[in-house]
Amino acid sequence: MRHIGSLPDQQLAQRFADYLLSVGVSVQAEAQGEQWAVWVRDEDQLDRAVAELDEFAADPDQQKYQQAGAEASRIRREQQQWHADAARRTVNMSSRWGRPTARKAPATIVLIAVSVVTAMLSNFGGRIEPVLSQMFYAKIVPTDDARSVLIPTDPHANIRRGELWRAVTPIFIHFGVIHLLFNMMWMYQLGVTIESRTGTFKYVAMVLAIAVVSNVAQCAISTPYSGGMSGVVYGLFGYVWIKMLFDPGSRYFISPNAVLIMMVWLGLGIIGVLDHYGMHVGNWAHGVGLAVGAAIAYVPLMLPSSKPK
């Protein structure tokens, strides 16, 4: 800000500030001894503000100054409303990592804990014990080689026999430390944000829907020997992304850099670049999970009573 001059009392300073605001020049008046100092906020408006102050000092009772108060009040109300609306649309993601918010997301914490325990017990998918073999979509039979498995010809047989949990439990299996850490980082950030807003019941239903559809797609099109939370992570990402784009009032936010990372990773997996470097990812789980999460966010917005105003 730049100091452009002083006026003898608060009433004149306020009248001058109201007039300038009504013509698009933002100034600030503050007490300075027995005078009221006038500061202009924008350097580009300095010359005009100085000229207006000279004219005002010469005749502060002109009609245009007397009538500026109402217009200035209207502009200030609009500015306050704009800032209030902007604050409602903004989510401080850094606060999502704090303990108070995490306490509102018990399901997310449980999902992360089960994933970590499963990773430890299975040696990151390298040791298939009888109990852990029940967590894959298809029945997994270990061979003499600890890293070799036999997969039944019909991977859906156990599902049809009623072992429906197999459509969900592959999300807890992770193959490697990086695989686990990457998924848990995103799961925490996205899961805590969504669960604390939608409530645990709706959030769990969303996770189950994404998990089932993405796991079934991955098994039916690619391989039943797969696992990881990334299908759910992409679903939650799709939910937040669509909410941010099409429902500003929901106040969801995800940074452009995060969107870029997620979409580039998805693209690299689809075109085979990750496979070339030995990183075998569940592309169908990722893509289908993303589509399911986006649909859960978008479809309700199409209902007349749910469209954002």
pLDDT, tens only, 79-120: 888 877 776 665 555 544 444 466 789 999 999 999 999 888
| Confidence band for 279, pLDDT divided at 50, 70 and 90 | low
**Residue type (1 letter), 142:** P
Instruction: Look at residue 232 in the predicted model and tell me its pLDDT.
Output: 95
Say yes or no: domain 93-306 is CATH 1.20.1540.10: yes
Q: How far is CA 225 from CA 109, 166, 277, in A?
A: 26, 12, 19
How much is the average pLDDT of 277-290?
Answer: 82
Domain assignments of the chain as residue spans, ordered by start: 2-89, 93-306
What is the predicted pLDDT for the residue at 99?
45
Q: Please name which of 226, 275, 235 lies closest in space to residue 125, comparing C-alpha atoms.
A: 226
**308 Cβ partners below 8 Å, 6+ apart?**
246, 247, 248, 249, 250, 301
Q: What's the whole-number mean pLDDT along residues 119-128?
A: 77
| More confident site: 90 or 4 | 4
pLDDT at 144: 62
Order across the sheet with 35-40: list the strands: 2-7, 35-40, 27-32
Burial of 2 (0-12, 13-18, 19+ CB in 10 A): middle
Q: How far apart are CA 243 and CA 241, in angstroms?
A: 5
Specify the range with the lowest mean pLDDT, choosing from 15-24, 98-107, 215-224: 98-107
Average pLDDT, the chain: 82
DSSP at 306? G
* Cα dihedral: 161, 165, 167, 173 (round 10): -130
Cα-based angle 95, 101, 105 (whole degrees, multiple of 5): 135
Distance, in Å, from the CA atom of 133 to the CA atom of 139, rounded to the nearest integer, reads 7
Task: Report pLDDT for 87.
Answer: 67
Q: Tokens standing for 52? A: 């207006």
What span, in angstroms and rounded, lies between the C-alpha atoms of 226 and 167? 11
**Is the model more confident about 282 or about 99?**
282
User: Do 2-89 and 93-306 come out as alike in CATH topology?
Assistant: no
State residue 97's pLDDT score. 44
Residue 258's φ and ψ, nearest 5 degrees, are: -65, -40
Report residue 184 as tokens: 């848990």
Assign domain 2-89 to its CATH architecture.
2-Layer Sandwich (3.30)
The answer to whether 292 touches 214, Cβ cutoff 8 Å, is yes
Lowest mean pLDDT among 7-11, 143-147, 177-181: 143-147
Q: What is the pLDDT of residue 183?
A: 92
Q: How confident is the model at residue 205 (pLDDT cuts 50, 70, 90)?
A: very high
Mean pLDDT confidence for 209-231? 87
**H/E stretch holding 241:** helix 230-246
What pLDDT sits at residue 96?
Answer: 46
Query: How confident is the model over 148-157, as pLDDT tens digits?
Result: 566 666 778 8
Rounded distance between C-alpha atoms, residue 150 and residue 167, angstroms: 19
- Range from 44-53, 78-87, 260-269 carrying the lowest mean pLDDT: 78-87
At 91 the pLDDT is 53
pLDDT band at 66 (very low <50, low <70, confident <90, very high): confident
Average pLDDT on 171-191 reads 91
